[in-house]
Structure 1
């Protein structure tokens, strides 16, 4: 069972999941990073460039999914160092601090809310995220070309690439592909035919959509929708 709600932290989502279904559903690239709790462990899920299939014996999970580009400021670690990785929070922060936070989450009635509280406190100390990142995501999510996006932000191509690596874990072209995939999934889940989904999401045609979904999602679009 999976449940989520909008977080009090701007742009974030709080979620919890109990692995009761024998079918393991892949986690698809979405431009985000997560702070995770699972049965006595605190972890960080870095930005994905391909579908991630959860494994291991843990059955209970809770998480805070940060908005695209906002987690590195919370963690104090560039996103590129965590790309396609799941790491222990103690590998990034002092062990004593992580033990204290873990005990706090374990003692809370709802671990997901405790993670949210921790993030709110730390973000308040670190200050707001770079507003340029929000403009960047909005432009790419609207289907604007990378070069035009860089020009609109007053950045050179290399500057934009460096900013993206630090904030998102990969370059702007990969970020644009990931955001386009999420647009396509959102459309297809509402019943929009695949050919129309491809056109509205910004693909050249339906075969282009099929190739991108397979490369990023590890399955066909129909299979992904069936696993929702």
Structure 2
């Protein structure tokens, strides 16, 4: 069962997933969403980098997992590492932070009745130490999510297309063209989860037609439209994003 709520950190989401004993179904794939997560799973504290393709979690589907999903483009400033260095990776926090700090956090999480709340506190602490947030990621996401071209988005944020590409790699892990595809995919899948017919979901998300959406789902999610819809129905509580495990 997947559950999520808005975090006290602006734009972030706190989520948990708890499997049902005896559940032998395949793990729910983690689909590209432009985000990065701080994860507690299997007794490990990890950072999930930005995905460019579906990630299939390891471990039993019954395992408890919790995480904080940061708003797109905001995690690198909090975690202290450019997003492009973590693209398509799940990285031990001990590789990013001091072993002593990670040891304390791991012990705290292992003893906590609600690890998700601990992760939220950690995220808030990281944000407090990082200073004012950079407004660029939100502006870029807003422009691309509204359907602006990369050139128009660069103009809107006062950068050249080349400068935007370089800044996007650090903030999101990939360039603005890929980010625009990922955001469009997520818009379409949100409509599919709501039961909107595929052709309408494609047009509503900004795809040329249903065939275009089907190609994007295959390339970015590794699924057919029908396969994704079936997986989404399996979740008791439908996620607004896509990450559920490590």
- Cα deviation, 1:40-73, whole Å, max 9, x if unaligned, reads 2100110000011111248111111101001101
Partner of 1:71: 75
1:51 to 40, 54, 68: 54
Partner of 1:41: 44
1:18 aligns with 2:18: yes
Alpha-carbon distance in 2 for matches of 1:90, 1:40: 13
Partner of 1:174: 178
Structure with more contact order per residue of length (Cα contacts < 8 Å, sep ≥ 6): 2
- Cα deviation, 1:114-164, whole Å, max 9, x if unaligned, reads 010011012111113211211110111111111111011110011100110
2:118 to 104, 114, 118: 114
Partner of 2:35: 32
Partner of 1:86: 90
Partner of 1:141: 145
Structure 2: gaps of 5 or more residues: 233-246
Matches within 5 A, 1:2-13: 2-13=2-13
Task: Give the number of aligned pairs.
Answer: 228
1:125 to 98, 122, 129: 129
Alpha-carbon distance in 2 for matches of 1:206, 1:130: 36
- Greater than 4 Å deviation, 4+ residue runs: none
Query: How far did residue 107 of structure 1 move?
Result: 2.3
Residues 37, 68 of structure 2: 8 Å contact kept: yes
Alpha-carbon distance in 2 for matches of 1:214, 1:28: 11
Alpha-carbon distance in 1 for matches of 2:200, 2:42: 43
1:206 aligns with 2:210: yes
Q: So what's the TM-score if we normalise by structure 1?
A: 0.97
2:199 to 195, 198, 202: 195
Structure 1: gaps of 5 or more residues: none
Q: Compute the RMSD of aligned alpha carbons.
A: 1.2
